[in-house]
Chain A
Amino acid sequence: MNVTQILFWFLSVLALFGALMVVTSKNPVHSVLWLIATFFSISGHYILLNAQFLAIVNIIVYAGAIMVLFLFVIMLMNLNKTTEPKKNRWLKLAGGVAGGCLLLVFIAALKSSEITQQTAEVKTGDIGLIKNLGRELFSTYVVPFEISSILFLSAMVGAVVIGKKE
């Protein structure tokens, strides 16, 4: 086991643990903080795949901006343990059964697929580097890029209309 593998397992465990804590934490603020931890471990994965730019952007946008807004809203609304609604026991049971079935299907599907023989290319590939990414983004993928800009514009217009006082 070399350093890369150790890092991979460490980051994966951290990501999964963080994600589990996001779902199971009683306190919403803790959930958000765990989500930030998850984003960090995912950024670590990006770095392992030699996509530093993606890793950094992931931190800037998600951990640094979006999650801060989440924290803002949750803190302003002062959500805490007491405001957490009680969930129906049967609903929990049903959720557990459904989730378990999904897990089973996933394991079965992955087990019989050919993916298990393929491995990710770690530390190679330069598509994640900023120069190549920029070129791709403004040539092959310029349409999705522009679509997302219109999407943000319209989301902004919608938010302003809804949020504006009469």
Chain B
Amino acid sequence: MWSFSHIANEMHEGLSATFNPTMTLIIEMVIAGVAVIGLFAGLGLVLVIMERKVSAWMQIRLGPNRVGPKGMLQSLADTLKLIVKEGLTPNGADKFLFNLAPFIAMIVAMLLMAPIAFARDFQLWDLNIGVLYVSAVSSIMVISILMAGWASNNKYSLMGAMRSGAQIVSYELSAGLSILAIVVLTGSLSLSDIIHSQADGWWIFKGHIPVLIAFVTFIIAVTAETNRAPFDLAEAESELTAGFHTEYSGMKFALFFLAEYVNVFIVCAIGATLFLGGWMPFHIGNWQGFNHVMDYIPSSLWFFGKTFFLIFVIMWFRWTFPRLRIDQLLNLEWKYLLPISMFNLLLVTLMAIMGWHF
């Protein structure tokens, strides 16, 4: 059967036959790196056009429709434009940090790809603390944003960076707590263990209301963490021009832009993995016939389908909710989400100990 793990194995065997183990490892690393970069570029193009089409659909208009069939090549053209544009560095900026910041944003996004399981047995690095790794590495994102905002030597940038920093640091808490709910249920931090624990049903179905609460908290928190509307105070156009990337242009701006979309993809992938079973097909109890039909759909399709559904949900938020004020934002986190998710974690722990879940 055609599958990612199959291709990976074929490749590994082919390489081992011709090269010695060290060389094989190096070549495989290079291939993985190229694949991740390719995925990045692909995701950037797809997600940008998706966002524009979704927004157009919500607002009953056409959206981009000139370049390519139905405007599908619009983001390719935009990328081309960004590449040929001049990258300006403002006067009085801290040149080194200013130029470093977009790359850090990019590197963080790339590192986050490592533990994600894209299909059955297809994972770059199955480390035993995968979930923690994701939250640790994503917390580095703030630093690149603060760096960019401060190094630009611009008030708007600094304000945007501050807002986004405060927002990310606070929403990380409830995101982490809702992730912990699933960790408590599975008893493992490894992403592949978490996926395998959902073979008989996804956690969102198995875990009753508490997991549902955790899921909702998670989605809200990650929307805030990726600085997307309705939590996009960091780049509130009406007040701050463009927030922390006001001064960026050309390719450096494109990197921030790309990192934002890739981050959205990653958090949705994590959400899909934790709550919706990752690449696990949809199974209903012991209904063998139905389960077999579901198994025929390739695991990668399941994964990408769930992930893109979540991405769609997050885009849906963006085009339907108005932006929050900063005090509302902080109240929402510290007075509502955090207490709720803490209590929820207790509830889930109780549930896991008593074995009340399916």
Question: Are A and B direct contacts in the complex by CB distance below 8 Å?
Answer: yes
> What 0/1 readout, one digit per residue, does chain B (261-295) give for beta carbons within 8 Å of chain A?
00000000000000000000000000000000000
Give the chain A neighbours of B147 by CB distance below 8 A.
Answer: 33
Beta-carbon contacts under 8 Å, B105-136 to A: 127-129, 132-133, 135-136
| Chain A residue nearest in CB terms to B96 | A30
Q: A60-B135, A75-B150 are in contact. Are A68 and B129 (CB under 8 A)?
A: no
Knowing A60-B132, A60-B135, A130-B189 touch, does A75 contact B142 (C-beta < 8 A)? Answer: no
Interface residues of B, CB < 8 Å — how many? Answer: 26
Q: Please report the C-alpha to C-alpha distance between residue A69 and residue B169 in the assembled complex, in whole angstroms.
A: 9
Is B146 part of the contact surface with A, judged by Cβ < 8 Å? yes
Q: How far is the CA of A27 from the CA of B143 in the complex (A)?
A: 16
CA distance A53 to B248 in the complex (A): 37
When distances are taken between beta carbons in the complex, the residues of chain B under 8 Å from A36 are: 143
- The secondary-structure label for the interface of chain B is helix
Chain A residues within an 8 Å CB radius of B128: 52, 129-130
A71 with B146: CB separation less than 8 A = yes
Give the contacts of A11-48 with B (CB-CB under 8 A): 27, 29-30, 33, 36
**Considering the chains assembled together, what is the distance between the CA atoms of A63 and B104 in angstroms?**
14
CB distance from A65 to the nearest CB of B (A): 6
Select which of A52, A71, A129 is within 8 A of B143 by beta carbon.
A71
Given contacts A71-B165, A75-B158, contact A64 B139 (CB under 8 A): yes
B132 touches A65 (CB 8 A): no
Q: How far is the CA of A33 from the CA of B100 in the complex (A)?
A: 12
B162, A72: Cβ atoms closer than 8 Å: yes
Q: Give chain A nearest CB distance to B113 CB in angstroms.
A: 17
Indicate if the CB atoms of B140 and A64 lie closer than 8 Å: yes
Q: Is the CB of A67 within 8 A of B143?
A: yes
Is A59 interfacial (CB-CB < 8 Å)? yes
Shortest distance between the CB of B146 and any CB in chain A (Å): 5
* Chain A minimum-CB-distance residue to B100: A33
Contacting residue for A56 out of B94, B97, B133, CB 8 A: B133
Does residue A91 face the partner (Cβ distance < 8 Å to B)?
no
Contact flag A53-B169 (CB < 8 Å), given A63-B143, A64-B140, A68-B142: no
Task: Report the bound CA distance from A28 to B137 in whole Å.
Answer: 24
* Contact in complex: A64, B142 (CB < 8 Å): yes
Q: How far is the CA of A72 from the CA of B169 in the complex (A)?
A: 11
Whether A59 touches B158, Cβ cut-off 8 Å, given contacts A33-B97, A75-B146, A75-B150, is no
B7 to chain A, nearest CB (A): 28
> Do B158 and A56 have beta carbons less than 8 Å apart?
no
Point out the residues of chain B lying under 8 angstroms from A29, CB to CB.
94, 97, 150
Q: State which residues 44-94 of A face B: CB under 8 Å.
A: 52-53, 56-57, 59-60, 63-65, 67-69, 71-72, 75-76
Instruction: List B contacts of A57 (CB < 8 A).
Output: 132, 136
Inter-chain contact A68/B135, CB cutoff 8 Å: no
Question: In the bound complex, do residue A68 and residue B136 qualify as a contact, i.e. CB atoms below 8 Å apart?
Answer: no
Q: How many whole Å from A21's CB to the nearest CB in chain B?
A: 12
Expressed in whole angstroms, the Cα–Cα distance for A72 and B270 within the complex equals: 29
Q: Is A52's CB under 8 angstroms from B169's CB?
A: no
Contacts of A69 in B (CB 8 A): 169
Taking CB atoms, residues of chain A closer than 8 Å to B189 are: 130
- Asked if A63 contacts B133 (CB within 8 A), the reply is no
Contact status B136-A59, CB under 8 Å: yes
Question: Which of A27, A68, A75, A76 has most chain B Cβ within 10 Å?
Answer: A68
Is there contact, CB below 8 Å, between A60 and B136?
yes
The answer to whether B137 and A68 touch across the interface, beta carbons within 8 angstroms, is no
Whether the pair B129, A130 counts as a contact (CB closer than 8 A) is yes
Identify which of residues 181-220 in chain B touch chain A, using a CB-to-CB cut-off of 8 Å.
Answer: 189
Per-residue interface assignment for chain A, residues 79 to 122, with 1 indicating a CB less than 8 Å from any chain B CB and 0 otherwise: 00000000000000000000000000000000000000000000
Q: Is the CB of A68 within 8 A of B162?
A: no
Evaluate contact between A56 and B136: CB separation under 8 angstroms: yes
Closest to A68 in B: B142
- CB-based nearest A residue for B127: A52
The residue on A at minimum CB distance from B137 is: A59
Inter-chain CA distance A69–B146, complex, in Å, is: 11
Contacts of A59 in B (CB 8 A): 136-137, 139-140
Told that A60-B139, A65-B172, A75-B150 touch, could you supply 8 new A-B pairs with CB distance under 8 A? A30-B97, A52-B127, A56-B132, A60-B135, A63-B139, A67-B143, A68-B139, A130-B129
A residues near B (Cβ < 8 Å) are: 27, 29-30, 33, 36, 52-53, 56-57, 59-60, 63-65, 67-69, 71-72, 75-76, 129-130
Enumerate 10 A-B pairs (CB-CB under 8 Å) in ascending A order.
A29-B94, A36-B143, A52-B128, A57-B132, A63-B139, A63-B140, A68-B139, A71-B165, A75-B150, A129-B128
The 4 closest A-B pairs by CB, nearest first: A64-B139, A59-B136, A60-B136, A56-B136
